[in-house]
Structure 1
Amino acid sequence: MKLWIILLAVAVGTEEIQRQNDCVDRFPGIPGNPGYNGVPGRDGRDGINGQKGEKGEPGHPGKSGTEGLRGQKGEPGIDGRVEEKGSKGDKGERGWPGKFGPKGIPGPVGGKGQKGEIGLQGERGIKGDIGPIGPKGHKGEIGIQGEIGLRGPTGPIGPIGPKGEVGGPGPKGSKGNQGEKGWKGDRGEKGRVGNTPVTSRSAFSAGLTTKFPPLHVPIKFDKVLYNGLNHYNPATGVFTCPISGVYFFTYHITVYSRNVRVALVKNGVKMLHTVDSYQGGEDQASGGTILELQKGDQIWLQTYGGETFNGLFADLDDDTVFTGFLLFGTS
């Protein structure tokens, strides 16, 4: 069917071309009768969709529509108030500990507080041991003769004197005469003075004049109270043992503004520790011990434990003192 239509169209076209060629330079003929209607073409609805055309220009805005009718009032909604409080949930698990925060900057030294009230009297301490016997003193000069005192009690019976001479015969039954008492002997010569033993001596006592001394080094107690034998060096704060023996060391300290950790050191080894946690106002602390030293050993006092543990303090009203002395020699 399709092929027939194509052939018919080709034939009509060819005849029309020939007719035009025949009519060149000639008069047109009488129009022919109209042809019959052709067969209807195929319905194009089942054809393939063409490509999408380009987007057209936007149209003009339409007119506003008429206002709609107002709707009816809606029904009341549910009550929006908060309902009853629910039950408390279970306690959560404990979280991991947080990291340590950075170290804070030390605060400025505060002003000196007012002196606190006198505390209650402490309990009486245990009686200490009797100290060693001191060296024998030099013999004093003979004093002025005092007044005659009262008569004392009768002394013991003296030794029997020499036997007297035999007396003449007396009457029968009488006792012989007793011989005369002999003369008192002469006083003997005074003995020689013995050698006086040499007594070993060593002692010192010194106070602090500066506040908050440096850590981990000997504290320089430069306020000398006694250092007659120069066994303590106030320029270095070190006591050097001059005589082998047993020594007693003690210290009394005033604490202000920060905590204190102080140690008594022998040749670089801490022998005694004292700690005071600052509570406000002014604190007092002390320590003491007995040490056996050899000649050349060195003793000093020092603070330790960080910048917040060197609160040693001294002023015109409060002292910090270091003291030591020899008890007896061992050489």
Structure 2
Amino acid sequence: MPPDTYPTPPGGYPMPGEGYPMPGEGYPMPMEGHPMPSGMGLPPSANMTRMTRSFDGMGTLPPGAEPDLAFCQLLLESPVPPPISSVPWFCVCSRCKGTVGPKGDRGDRGLPGSPGSPGRRGFTGFRGRPGFVGRQGLKGQKGDEGQKGERGAMGFTGAKGDRGYKGDKGDAGMEGPEGEQGPKGEPGHCPATCESVQGPAGDPGLPGQTGVRGLPGTAGTPGMKGEKGDTGSMGPPGHPGEQGEKGEQGAEGACNCQDGVDGMNGHPGPQGPKGDKGEMGLNGQPGMAGPKGHQGDQGVMGAPGPCSPAIQSAFSAALGSIYPQPNLPVAFTHILYNMQGHYDPNSGIYMAPVNGTYVFSYHLSVFSKVLKVGLFHNFMPVVKTTEPMDLGTASQQVVLHLTMFDRVWVQVKDSSTNGMYASGESSSTFSGFLLHPDSCDPPLFRDFPPSLQGDFSWGELRPPIIPSP
């Protein structure tokens, strides 16, 4: 491309030395007295950039026509850059070689460019390994009811079953339809006489089945009284009969005697049997009040009667989870009764509200494991129970005297002997109640219970005394 037609970018050609230190405004510029190459004067309206391009494209200049580039070097090394109008034309060229300055800082990241056109589709990769089986998702909602399926093929004929029992006699069926008219019979012959002649008797039929026994008939009308029969011959004398009962007293006879003589007294008869007890007579009228009696002496003062306690306490709870943890109180979380709130279902501990006598009991079901369980009072075992069978029950009931804020709970020994069990058909319960307090007066102070401090160990009970043989 010729130098004159070299394209110039918009706004002028960029200076190669832009950003380098240039001499200041007061720096002496040898514009007029600077030696210029002969034959290379610039017209007033010449384009410096195009001339620079033309100068660059001239290749090697003839001897004596090269400009003095030392002045350009001074401009490059000046502390203050001079204005562009003060820079000679030959210093604005691509052939000027100045001192290489230090490397500048990294510029800011430019704006992202517009996305390029999509590339060609790559080849299909190899089939990857199957992934891990994920967790089972939540149960989905019930789907819509599907359509009724087609009728399946008939199955194989099963084996012939055993003969069933004879069924009951069925009800009489409906009257059947009237049959078709039969064929016409042969014409009859007229007999010699019109009188009917009885035919010969048929053969006797088979005897019928015995009918059901009929109901008894109604009583007939009594017959008339027959005539008195003749007197029979006297029979042999009979045995003497038993003494008959006393007859009723006869009617008083009519006495027409007026001057008869009294007869002799008869002998006294035997004593008759004791009569029945008569009915109680009516109550008589109350009698008159008697005179007021004298005041009696004062009696001995009796023992004080039972007081009415002002505080009550009772609870009953069932086991909520089977095989409880050892070295901790067993939490009976299913509350049956705990109106006063003295039992804590979360910890399984009962706290005494007052000084008094208490009754505690536990009834436990055992399944699949051996059970060793005990009732504890302030970290000390009171009673223990061992059920060696893997299917059974264990129970205890004790009476204790407790002080206010004492604690009572149930505890198992270890994880191998914690066979306490409960289900829908079997329950394990822990219960207790205040039998009577030491005083009927309620406590006159309100204090926070002390914190429970101690070790939930199994502990040891005092062994019983074994008698010597």
TM interval, short-chain normalised: 0.3 to 0.5
Tell me which of the two structures has the higher relative contact order, counting C-alpha pairs closer than 8 angstroms and 6 or more residues apart.
1
Structure with greater proportional strand content: 1
Pair member with larger Rg? 2
- With structure 2 as the length reference, what TM-score do the two structures score? 0.29
